[in-house]
Structure 1
């Protein structure tokens, strides 16, 4: 007994590029899952700003994209050096410290923050 299989490259390529076809649905599923992992790894409320989409990629393919559009995402991903914080429009900075005490000051010496690459960790969890 013999079996002959004929693959028509054009038909196969159309199936793979088909809008909402099996390849795109699988990519959407994986991208959504990775975005969930990124949101879980994000500090504080930054996970609320994580979004995902599937878009045309290079050479006619598709790619899943996970983004975070929180205003401070770059500072979290790259970290910050020690720096001074001064009021811009007011005379004083106002914030609460431990114990609920309110403090007013004209200058804060911020110690800086370590980089927190939550996007990379979320992607690694999604592999």
Structure 2
């Protein structure tokens, strides 16, 4: 009595990539976990701009985490010292310092250190 077993690589690959398959579920769980950590690590309201998805990539399934906040590049990369001026000519800037409202035409911003909260979330979410 003999038993024949065929391993069809194409079928196995399709099974692994299928939505709801083992690999898809595992990647979804891990991607969601990292996205939740990134939301917690993000400064200010930036966490509410984070979304995630699982998609087909060049080497198979991949988890993708995106932050759509308009200032995310400045937070991730940091900024050098710079001047801030009003958008309109003869306009003023308005902000609060220690509870007092301040009006001025020029701010000498000292710059910010990089805060790569996405990479930190990836390390913490392993």
Which residue number in structure 1 is paired with residue 118 of structure 2? 119
Aligned length: 123
Structure 1 residues without counterparts, runs of 5 or longer: none
Q: After TM superposition, where is structure 1 displaced by more than 3 Å over at least 4 residues in a row?
A: 3-8
Structure 2 residues without counterparts, runs of 5 or longer: none
Correspondence list, 1:65-84, <5 A: 65-84=64-83
Which residue number in structure 2 is paired with residue 35 of structure 1? 35
User: CA separation in 2, counterparts of 1:94 and 1:58?
Assistant: 48
User: CA separation in 1, counterparts of 2:4 and 2:47?
Assistant: 52
Q: Report the TM-score when normalising by structure 2.
A: 0.89
Which residue number in structure 1 is paired with residue 93 of structure 2? 93
User: CA separation in 2, counterparts of 1:51 and 1:41?
Assistant: 14
Give RMSD over aligned pairs.
Answer: 1.7
User: CA separation in 1, counterparts of 2:35 and 2:106?
Assistant: 38
User: CA separation in 2, counterparts of 1:23 and 1:73?
Assistant: 30
User: CA separation in 2, counterparts of 1:76 and 1:48?
Assistant: 15
Q: Report the TM-score when normalising by structure 1.
A: 0.89
Give, in angstroms, the shift of residue 44 of structure 1.
Answer: 1.0
Deviations 1:21-63 (A, max 9, x none): 121111111100010111111111111111100011104x110
